[in-house]
Each structure stands twice: as C-alpha cells, then as structure tokens.
Amino acid sequence: MKCDTELLLDGLVFPECPRWQAGKLWFSDMIGRKVMSVDLSGNVETIVKVPGQPAGLGWLPDGALLIVSMTDRKLLRYDSHSLSEIADLSQLASFHLNDMVIDSQGRSYIGNFGFDIHSITSTPSTANVILVTQDGNTKIVADNLLFPNGSVITPDEQTYIVAESLAQKLRAFTIHHDGTLTNQRTWAQLDGLLPDGICLDAEGAVWIASATDKDTSEVMRITEGGKVTHRIKPSNIAFACILGGPDRRTLFIATADTSNPEKAFTKQSGRIEYAEVDVPGAGFP
C-alpha cells in the first residue's frame, strides 16, 4: 500500500503522545525515556530525560509542562530546569500510566494499561481514568475500560472522548463542573481497528491512529457513529496523531515498527510523519 505521508524525523526509539505547542511538535520518545521537540525544519531538541518513561504531555495555564511518568506511575511537572512530582498514582492505577489530556483549568485526565500488555502470560483486565488537579488532588472518574489510551476534550469542555483500544471503540463522557465524568456512551464502534492516539478537528470528527500492523495500520478520520471519512497510510505502524502547524491543518503521526520495549531499542524505527488535511484541529490537546 502506498504511503501518503512525508517524513519529518526518524531515528527515534518509540515516539508517542505528540503535541503542538509554541511552534514545535513535542512528543515522548517513550522507550527512549526522553521528551523531545522538533520544528518544521527538522531541528530536534531533547527537553528532559524521564527515567520512568514519559507518556502523555500537556501544559498548565501557567505554561508549565506536565509529563506522565509511566512505570513509576507519577505525574511530573517540568519548569524548564527540573522535574518535580505533582501526584503519585501508584495506588490508583492498576498498571503503567498511559496518555493524558489537560483541560483549560489544568485538570489532567490520565489512563493506564490495566495489565502488562507485553507479557504473554498476562490476562487482559480493565483500567480506570484518573483526574489530577493542579494541586495534586486525585480521584478516579471512569473505570472498567479496556486499555484507555489517547483522549480529547471538546472545545466547549463538555465532552471527554477516549480511545478504548482493546474494546475497539471510542468512548464519550459528559464532563461536569468539578471535572467528574458521567453518561458513559459509545461514540464510535471500530471493529477490526486498534485506536491508540487520537485528536479532534473543528468539525467534531476524531482522527485515530490504528496501531494494528505495518500492512494495515492507518490514520483515519471518524465521525460520531463510526463513519470513516478519510484515510492516511503512513510508512510505519501509526501509534498517535495530532493536528498542528501554523493553522492546525498538519496531521503529525508518531510511527514505529514495534512497541515492544525489547525490540524498539534495536530497531530505532521511530518516525514523525505528516500529511496536510482540510479541517483544522480543535479542542484539547
């Protein structure tokens, strides 16, 4: 199948959780254990090393960068000089932390694996979504999800949508003033797909990175109910996507040959690819 993307950056270990901020694409080289950025000319910078493996990224209203630290299950703050702990979620998350989205009030919604997905002896089990406030207060706001992964918040901050990867669907929730989530519903059933990272556009459609295998993996634009309106084929397996660039019409895609930690370092197949789209990004992140 022909590749529909251009290459911005390669030689990464395993890029994930891309974000557009301050004229650059920021992302976690998750298995490489560092947060990085790249501009549209391909200039790369390592922002900070995260021993616990960085995952979801986001910014507080004061401009501080928050980083999910996966394996020690903590939410960290980076102030351009050092890392500090916002919250330890090890008593709430049943396995490694995953992606995150932050709203305009600086509240972080964080999913987790639920079980060791890379172990052949593990039995799949459900996981939760944890809400963390700026001052470090925590609470579970959704549970019984099969691998909650990439997530978005609509521009009016009324709806939270999360990729429930192993259930092959997008779930939606109503957001209340205190940040709690109710009215859980299926936003789109995605049989045969594996929705990983997602992003939202100005017409309310969701772009999903379907992390199946190299031959079948695509990034697809989905409308509520599950209709696929556009497909983009990257050169590698797509694990996450974000709409960015000066007008938020550049779809950046984080790809790699594998998500297996034992193989990723050897291959270093991670890439940032991109394609231009018609409808700009919207909402959070």
Sequence letter at residue 235: S
Mean pLDDT calculated for residue range 14-34: 97
For 263, phi then psi, to 5°, come to: -95, -25
CA 265 to chain CA mean position, Å: 21
Ordered DSSP codes for 217-231: -EEEEEETTTEEEEE
Share of the chain above pLDDT 70, in %: 99
Q: Does pLDDT of 1 surpass 70?
A: no
Encoded tokens for 169? 């669907």
Going from the C-alpha of 78 to that of each of 53, 85, 158, 202, the distances in angstroms are: 14, 9, 28, 30
Mean pLDDT calculated for residue range 40-50: 98
Going from the C-alpha of 86 to that of each of 33, 62, 67, 132, the distances in angstroms are: 19, 15, 10, 9
CA distance 161 to 184: 10
Q: Does pLDDT of 266 surpass 90?
A: no
Q: Are 154 and 170 in contact (CB under 8 A)?
A: no
CA 34 to chain CA mean position, Å: 15
CA distance 140 to 130: 4
* Contacting residues for 118 by C-beta, under 8 A, at least 6 apart: 259, 260, 261
Q: Does pLDDT of 252 surpass 70?
A: yes
Encoded tokens for 274? 């991109």
3-state class of 265 per DSSP? helix
Encoded tokens for 258? 């594998």
Q: Does pLDDT of 261 surpass 80?
A: no
The model's pTM? 0.97
Per-residue confidence (pLDDT) for residue 285, from 0 to 100: 98
CATH 2.120.10.30 corresponds to the domain 6-276: yes
Q: Locate the domains of the chain by residue range.
A: 6-276
Encoded tokens for 267? 């291959």
Mean pLDDT calculated for residue range 125-152: 97
CA 161 to chain CA mean position, Å: 12
Mean pLDDT calculated for residue range 2-23: 96
For 81, phi then psi, to 5°, come to: -125, -40
